[in-house]
Amino acid sequence: MVQMLDPKTLTVLITGATAGFGAATARRFANAGARVIATGRRAERLAALKKELGERCHTANYDVTDRAASEKMLKALPPAFQKINVVVANAGGAFGLEPAHQANLDDWDQMIALNINGLLYTVRTTLPGMVERDEGHVVLLGSVAGDYPYPGGNVYGGVKAFVKQFALNLRADLLGANVRVTNIEPGLAETEFSLVRFKGDVEKAAAPYKGVTPMSADDIAEQIFWVCTLPRHVNINRVQSMATMQAFSPFAIKRKT
């Protein structure tokens, strides 16, 4: 019988906790007795989450792409939340699905800023404390898009491939530091992800989930909770999951007609 970690011993920083996986993860941990630092740009949603979760929840309202903001958040933490031992670098997303030759360069810049730079600021800000205390867990939100290509996935797939390799390289750097690293790589999951990708176009955003049961934010939160509560000598490197009704296509071949 495996002795799981007591969630009450965990102080969990979650970026992007105003929606989707981040909000579900905040609820999963807080409801199990962990302390949660929930962050995001939408202040009213953070306030509602704080009201729901109570004193186990501290909120910080900032943009993860602002390099100084992560440091500021860390310095402003109330004493009870200072010993972060789980960081879920979740804030991220896709902008657009156009083929590379038609894609908007601003979308590409924004995806790199959010999914790479924002994630790096989160990790680099919180890592020294975890190494110093010799206890921690970095959970990154990758994607199946970082493992497999699809049309229009160009830069989004590229940034998530970066996240996957960064996670593995963190493992190499942190050997001996008692800090775990896990890359969570979900496939089709219904959140605000598509609404953001298609810039508020509700019809386009609904299309990927039509006629299929996608994974839910709670499904992903459960995976994160599981990897984080396994005994400290167990490091899950990668968790790749898909909706059961999502799988692979054969290679595409464009034939002369």
Q: Nearest 5°: phi and psi at 136?
A: -175, 175
Looking at 43-51, 123-131, 139-147, 248-256, which segment touches ligand 8X3 (CB under 6 A)?
A: 139-147
CA 51 to chain centre: 23
Contact 225, 25 (CB under 8 A): yes
Q: Which of residues 176-205 bind ligand NDP (CB under 6 A)?
A: 186, 188-189, 191-193, 196
> Quick one: 7 or 186, whose CB is closer to ligand NDP?
186
148 is annotated as an active-site residue: no
Convert residues 155-194 into a mask of x (bound to ligand 8X3 by CB under 6 A) and - (unbound).
--------------------------------x-----x-
- The size of the chain, in residues, is 257
| Smallest distance, ligand NDP to C-beta of residue 25, A | 9
| Smallest distance, ligand NDP to C-beta of residue 144, A | 7
Residues in Cβ contact with 6 at an 8 Å cutoff, skipping those fewer than 6 apart: 33
Between strands 215-216 and 35-40, the pairing is unpaired
Distance CA 90, CA 81 (A): 19
Contact 80, 55 (CB under 8 A): no
Q: Which of residues 44-103 bind ligand NDP (CB under 6 A)?
A: 63-65, 90-93
| 25 is a contact residue toward ligand NDP (CB under 6 A) | no
Q: Nearest 5°: phi and psi at 200?
A: 90, 0
| 152 is a contact residue toward ligand 8X3 (CB under 6 A) | no
Please give the structure tokens belonging to residue 223: 């995976």
Residues in Cβ contact with 46 at an 8 Å cutoff, skipping those fewer than 6 apart: 17, 18, 38, 39, 40, 59, 60, 61
Looking at 123-131, 141-149, 172-180, 228-236, which segment touches ligand 8X3 (CB under 6 A)?
A: 141-149
> Quick one: 30 or 135, whose CB is closer to ligand NDP?
30
Residues of this chain that interact with ligand 8X3 (CB under 6 A) are 143-145, 153, 187, 193
**Which residues in this chain contact ligand NDP in the complex, by CB under 6 A?**
15-22, 40-42, 63-65, 90-93, 114, 118, 141, 143, 186, 188-189, 191-193, 196
